[in-house]
Amino acid sequence: MEVDPSALAAIERGMVKHGVTSYLPTTVTAPLPDILRSLEHLGKAIRKASNHAGRSRPLGIHLEGPFISHAKRGVHPPQNLLPPSPETLRELYQAAGGTVSMLTIAPELDGGLETIVDAVSLGIHVSLGHSKRNFL
């Protein structure tokens, strides 16, 4: 969620020292303006990633939240959880310049299935998580 390019560069240099050659930077649930700002920064970093020798390469963004269950939110702040909607997903996707590649979502939430269908249409891989449903 850090928007300072030097912070991301430091993280990527540290990861590559431990053998991590590529990764999905992951956003967490926060106020929507903060998520959008982070996505703009990460999207720019991903588009420039081929120029970063000696650093782990971000392949795409993983949205972990804000479309998760209140009951299984873990450390995600409850006041910032949002109901899933294709419209909000598109706003997040556009802020990232189309670089979102994974979405974690609780499918049982109202709007969850429609948001999943829209995510797939955008080429986003969907992960079912932070859900009160037992899938086993």
Q: Mind listing the pLDDT tens digit of every residue in the chain (136 residues)?
A: 777 878 888 999 999 999 999 999 999 999 999 999 999 999 998 888 777 789 999 999 999 989 999 888 888 999 999 999 999 999 999 999 999 999 999 999 999 999 999 999 999 999 998 888 776 6
* DSSP class of 49: G
Whether this model's pTM surpasses 0.85: yes
The per-residue pLDDT for 52 is 75
Which two structure tokens, joined as six digits, stand for 58?
């971000």
- Is 49 in contact with 24 (CB distance < 8 Å)? no
- Is 133 in contact with 107 (CB distance < 8 Å)? yes
- Is 81 in contact with 73 (CB distance < 8 Å)? yes
Nearest to 46 by CA among 8, 81, 74: 8
- Is 41 in contact with 26 (CB distance < 8 Å)? no
Which two structure tokens, joined as six digits, stand for 117?
């269908």
Domain ranges of the chain: 24-48+59-128
The per-residue pLDDT for 45 is 87
Alpha helices in 1-136 (DSSP H): 5-17, 32-48, 86-95, 112-121
Residue 48 neighbours by CB under 8 Å, 6+ apart: none
- Residue 96 sits at φ, ψ, to 5 deg, of -85, 5
- Residue 22 sits at φ, ψ, to 5 deg, of -155, 160
Residue 4 neighbours by CB under 8 Å, 6+ apart: none
